């Protein structure tokens, strides 16, 4: 049994839970708003990292986690495609200016675990951090690993995220991964395929082996289930490249008592007790 002590969803342009909660029909208390200014820290990081940091802050805020516990929290960042945009921008520099003219700042930020690194630095987290990129079951893999870490006492809490980019390049890759048809070569009208400033979205969950904020009137727990999923009402009115985490988040926001949700073929029970 895992406790969901916090959750967050955002896009890199700053729009937060409002879109999702409007779709689900649930209104969040004011503590869902960003309280601190990350802009200076994140100015060089790109949209992928920014989305991850903002979603993490959303999940941590009001969770009741102490600084001491946060220091040993684990971080798992998952993605289907990863941050191809920052890589593409670095490659553009090599093409445009030569192999020895690449920006070290761009290269450093192009590695897929940059987001986990920023999250760790921003929140003073010294626990294990893993970044995984898989077209299939990326979030599900992350959830399984988070459960292992918590159950095996590797860490008491885990920040589990999925981050995706909404750039045209990522949409092309995703559509191909999902076996949609693209032409062998296509002429596109837009001038920018890969842009590290392109909108990115992220969802984050703070999972723990116990309830962190004992002031909460209700705790949310997650466990594996053998029941069939009844989450047919998926309020994905929002166009989002996140699939499984949004499904999980929607179920958390929507359910009054209990709901069974499917994440990459595995069923989980969410209970509010």
Contacts of 156 (CB under 8 A, 6+ apart): 69, 72, 73, 150, 208, 209, 210
Tokens at residue 172, please?
Answer: 């092309």
Tokens at residue 73, please?
Answer: 């929290």
Question: Which of 45, 78, 46, 56 is closest to 123 using CA atoms?
Answer: 56
Q: Does 99 bind another protein (CB under 8 A)?
A: yes
Alpha helices in 32-165 (DSSP H): 39-42, 47-60, 67-71, 84-97, 104-110, 114-123, 138-151
Beta bridge partners of 75: 129, 159
| 23, 26, 34, 94: which one binds another protein (CB under 8 A) | 94
Contacts of 65 (CB under 8 A, 6+ apart): 5, 6, 73, 157, 206, 208, 212
Residue 43 burial (C-beta neighbours within 10 Å; 0-12, 13-18, 19+): exposed
Q: Which of 21, 147 has the CB closer to another protein?
A: 147
| Smallest distance from another protein to CB 175, Å | 10
Task: Return the CA Rg of the chain.
Answer: 19
Q: Does 147 bind another protein (CB under 8 A)?
A: yes
Footprint of another protein on 194-223 (CB under 8 A): 194
Binding mask 151-180 for another protein (x = CB under 8 A): xx-x--------------x--xx--xx---
Q: Does 233 bind another protein (CB under 8 A)?
A: no
Q: Does 102 bind another protein (CB under 8 A)?
A: yes
- How many chain residues touch another protein (CB under 8 A)? 68
182 contacts 176 by C-beta, under 8 angstroms? yes
Q: Which of 32, 225 has the CB closer to another protein?
A: 225
Alpha carbon distance 221, 258 (integer Å): 10
Q: Does 267 bind another protein (CB under 8 A)?
A: no
Footprint of another protein on 106-135 (CB under 8 A): 107-114, 116-118, 120-121, 124-135
Alpha carbon distance 149, 74 (integer Å): 8
Tokens at residue 110, please?
Answer: 């192009």
| 32, 84, 225, 262: which one binds another protein (CB under 8 A) | 84
Q: Does 139 bind another protein (CB under 8 A)?
A: no
Q: Does 51 bind another protein (CB under 8 A)?
A: no
Alpha carbon distance 81, 177 (integer Å): 9
**Taking contact as CB under 8 A, which single stretch among the options 2-10, 26-34, 101-109, 247-255 is the one that binds another protein?**
101-109
**Taking contact as CB under 8 A, which single stretch among the options 51-59, 147-155, 211-219, 236-244 is the one that binds another protein?**
147-155
SS3 236: coil
Q: Which of 191, 256 has the CB closer to another protein?
A: 191
Q: Does 56 bind another protein (CB under 8 A)?
A: no
Q: Which of 17, 120 has the CB closer to another protein?
A: 120
Which residue ranges make up the site for another protein (CB under 8 A)?
Answer: 75, 82, 84, 87-88, 90-92, 94-95, 99-100, 102-104, 107-114, 116-118, 120-121, 124-137, 141, 144-145, 147-149, 151-152, 154, 169, 172-173, 176-177, 182-191, 193-194
């Amino acid at each position: 049994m895992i406790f969901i002590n916090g959750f967050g969803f955002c896009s890199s342009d700053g729009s937060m839970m409002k879109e999702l909660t409007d779709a689900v029909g649930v209104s969040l208390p004011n503590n869902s708003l960003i309280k601190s200014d990350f802009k200076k820290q994140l100015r060089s990081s790109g949209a992928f990292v920014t989305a991850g940091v903002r979603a993490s802050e959303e999940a941590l805020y009001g969770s009741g986690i102490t600084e001491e516990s946060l220091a040993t929290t684990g971080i798992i960042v998952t993605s289907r495609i990863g941050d191809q945009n920052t890589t593409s921008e670095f490659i553009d520099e090599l093409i445009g200016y030569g192999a020895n003219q690449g920006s070290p700042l761009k290269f450093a930020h192009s590695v897929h675990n940059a987001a986990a690194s920023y999250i760790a630095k921003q929140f003073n987290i010294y626990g294990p951090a893993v970044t995984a990129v898989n077209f299939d079951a990326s979030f599900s893999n992350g959830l399984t690993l988070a459960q292992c870490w918590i159950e095996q006492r590797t860490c008491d809490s885990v920040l589990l995220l999925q981050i995706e980019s909404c750039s045209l390049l990522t949409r092309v890759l995703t559509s191909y991964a999902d076996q949609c048809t693209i032409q062998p070569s296509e002429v596109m009208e837009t001038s920018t395929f890969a842009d590290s400033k392109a909108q990115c979205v992220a969802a984050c969950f703070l999972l723990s082996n116990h309830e962190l904020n004992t002031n909460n009137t209700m705790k949310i727990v997650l466990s594996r289930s053998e029941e069939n999923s009844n989450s047919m009402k998926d309020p994905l009115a929002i166009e989002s490249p996140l699939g499984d985490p949004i499904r999980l988040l929607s179920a958390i926001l929507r359910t009054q008592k209990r709901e069974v949700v499917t994440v990459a073929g595995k069923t989980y029970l969410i209970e509010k007790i």
